[in-house]
Structure 1
Amino acid sequence: MKRFLTFLALLLMIFSCKKENKITDSELVSISKIDTLYHDSISIRALTIKDSEVWFAGSNGKYGAINFETHKIFRGRIQFDTIFPEFRSIASNKEEIFIMSVASPGLLYKISNDKKVTKLVYQENGEKVFYDSMQFIDNSSGFAMGDPVENCLNVIKTEDGGKNWSKINCDVLPKVEDGEAAFAASNTNLIIRNNTIFMLSGGKKSRCFVSEDLGKTWNVYDTPIIQGETMTGIFTADFYNDKIGIVAGGNYENQTDNSTNKAITTDGGKTWKLIAKNKGFGYASCIQFVPNTEGKEIMCAGGTGIYYSKNFGEDWKKIHEAKNIYTFRFLNDSIAFAAGRNNVLRINLKK
């Protein structure tokens, strides 16, 4: 009996050690290197990758492009009357880059690929004007969305490659509820996948607006994300395809709260499931699926650092302490370009 008990204790100790030392899939991902590509006095929440360049637009009228192969940097600045606009939206088609300012006057500029021509193509004035995000579907069609100026989200579209823009009538769009708006945190609350458009709102009501016919008709669906106050709700979202999506955000005024600030959908935004309650990151500014991972791998940046998941967001590992990254985009599954306070960075992942 004594020998048996000794053997049993030894066996339990071995299994206990194995359990304690078990390394999860998420722990296998880390940041191997961060390179600073650009430094200036600027706040950047709009970033896009086009060909061999990463374009950015930010505060004080500043925008630019960095060739990540030649390391050549282009710097631009726009002044409108006496205003240096704050740009928080950026998008591109084959011919041009488009940047849009956040508040009245809402100013949308197109910039030629060679960076020689900058032209104002849309302007909107009004106390409630506040644009959050912009995306192109193809070379001709694009959309931009913002906070309500009437009883619906403020949505404009182009069908001629960005030369002309017009509003989508509120008769077509779902009505917003009291205190429902959107956040211009990272140019990520308007997403287009195939022929489906997703728009995410926040504030006192935080919902998912979906059009499956390129903006002709719309439906709106509730989400379980924290909401009810002005600075709560969805701040960022991404869709891996037209079915699998993730939303994140939280309470901007309580950035460590990670209780109900992330959710996933597998049916194109119709239903949502809370994930990682009281685990992982707090307030989220930008979340993105990692390319070529079937939606399993996700990275998030925000007020509590940079986090990574390898299991559809159920578990998260903090991979960097940086709290001043507002937006990022993946070049491939191992390299992301990020921006925020004063910097554009290249993040190299070790997997």
Structure 2
Amino acid sequence: MKTLRMAALAAGVLLAMSQLVPAQATGQHGPKYKWDLKPTGSASQFRGLAAVNKDVAWVAGSAGQVLRTVDGGRHWENVSPPGQTLLFRDVEAFDAKHAVILAIGVGEDSRIYRTADGGKHWSEAFRNTEPTAFYDCLDFNNSRDGLALSDPVDGKFRIAATADGGKSWKVQSTKGMPAALPGEFAFAASGTCLVAGPGRTAWFATGGGAVPRVFRTDNGGRTWKVTDSPMASGGAAGIFSLAFRGPLFGVAVGGDFEKPTEAVKAASITTDGGRSWKLVAADKAPKGYRSGSAFVPWSPTTVVAIGPSGSDVSLDGGRSWSQFYDGSFDSVECAGHGFKAGCWASGAKGAVARLSVGH
């Protein structure tokens, strides 16, 4: 059952958590990366994270809590939907006022809410009515077109789509969706099991089956093609996060969340838009299971990955990684341009941080 997997994931992460103290890259050459913690005053676990730029970010997490900062994390505003105790696992924000959040769970616990006034008011945009569906993550190609991913229903992954910025959602036909493998599902770990790319492209990643797989669409979710991955798979293993730089270059990270300090076939790369994947060797992979990943805005080949046992950076598009932080995060996201560009991370016990780069 997905609820059991959720419990196992939460337990595994809590057991693996290390002390949240700043750490930086130890290499003598190149930039040094460091997380600067931005106290939120919250005890929630924030797996939902949306970076708008270095000043504006949203986090969403347990106990129905949603926070927003517009000053680089110096202050956080509680903008939670009133009266909710849902488990929020993803948030996508277009700016300081417009955001969409996803609550996960079986049946009607999977919901989508939208705000257009910075969280002062929220409207329910979607409520799942299929008892066996379980929505894991969502993403947008632009300010209008977005997709949300559910675990398989009747043997196929399910997609809900919006064309009006998240105001309304429609469950798509599964005629163009390849059949799921026995036991296959997606991980609601960091909001990046599904990512949208340029145009109408999108990808989602899986685990739990005989092999982890990556699904790709070029037409906004109407039809999908699927590719096997060389990464680890199993009841607690698979691909937890995807990140793409444009339509061709991408990374996948994950591993086994029951072995958080081991790099169990934990990373791979693609140079052809997800049509094929190459495994990163264990000695060059992230130093443990990783649940989130993101390309930084200021470098075409720099990627950051985070997890319960640390954070890693790759300067060569995911081909090799070095650890720069030994604390716990669940999610990472980067956004913005020029001097407004920024990367954020979030996790358990209200942890949020912003990435700084030195020399």
* TM-score (normalizing by structure 1): 0.85
Q: Alpha-carbon deviation of 1:190?
A: 1.1
- Quick check: 1:62 aligned with 2:69? no
Distance 2:35 2:172 in 1: 44
Name the structure 2 match of 1:40.
Answer: 42
Aligned CA distance change for structure 1 residues 28 and 74 (closer, same or farther; 3 Å): same
Name the structure 1 match of 2:86.
Answer: 85
Distance 1:238 1:254 in 2: 22
Q: Alpha-carbon deviation of 1:125?
A: 3.9
Q: 1:321 aligns with which of 321, 326, 330?
A: 326
* TM-score (normalizing by structure 2): 0.83
Distance 1:70 1:304 in 2: 23
Distance 1:337 1:328 in 2: 6
Higher-Rg member (1/2) = 1
- Give the SS at the match of 1:40: coil
Name the structure 2 match of 1:223.
Answer: 229
Q: 1:167 aligns with which of 165, 171, 178?
A: 171
Q: Alpha-carbon deviation of 1:37?
A: 3.9
Name the structure 1 match of 2:124.
Answer: 120
Aligned CA distance change for structure 1 residues 75 and 223 (closer, same or farther; 3 Å): same
Q: Alpha-carbon deviation of 1:259?
A: 4.2
Distance 2:181 2:344 in 1: 36
Summarize deviations over 1:108-133 as a string: whole Å, max 9, x none: 11112332221111111455332211
**Is the contact made by 2:240 and 2:292 (CA closer than 8 Å) also made in structure 1?**
yes
Name the structure 1 match of 2:353.
Answer: 345
Q: Alpha-carbon deviation of 1:85?
A: 0.2
RCO higher in structure (CA 8 A, sep ≥6):
2
Aligned CA distance change for structure 1 residues 292 and 77 (closer, same or farther; 3 Å): closer
Distance 1:146 1:33 in 2: 32
**Is the contact made by 2:64 and 2:88 (CA closer than 8 Å) also made in structure 1?**
yes
**Is the contact made by 2:173 and 2:222 (CA closer than 8 Å) also made in structure 1?**
no
* Richer in strand (by share): 1
**Is the contact made by 2:52 and 2:335 (CA closer than 8 Å) also made in structure 1?**
no
Distance 1:201 1:305 in 2: 22
Q: 1:309 aligns with which of 305, 314, 339?
A: 314
Name the structure 2 match of 1:7.
Answer: none
- Give the SS at the match of 1:60: helix
Summarize deviations over 1:238-284 as a string: whole Å, max 9, x none: 00111000001001112232142110000000011011324432100
Identity %: 26
Name the structure 1 match of 2:8.
Answer: none
Distance 1:55 1:321 in 2: 24
Structure 2, gaps ≥5 residues long: 1-24
- Give the SS at the match of 1:148: strand
Instruction: Report the aligned-residue RMSD.
Output: 2.4
Q: Alpha-carbon deviation of 1:287?
A: 1.2
Structure 1, gaps ≥5 residues long: 1-22
Distance 1:89 1:276 in 2: 30
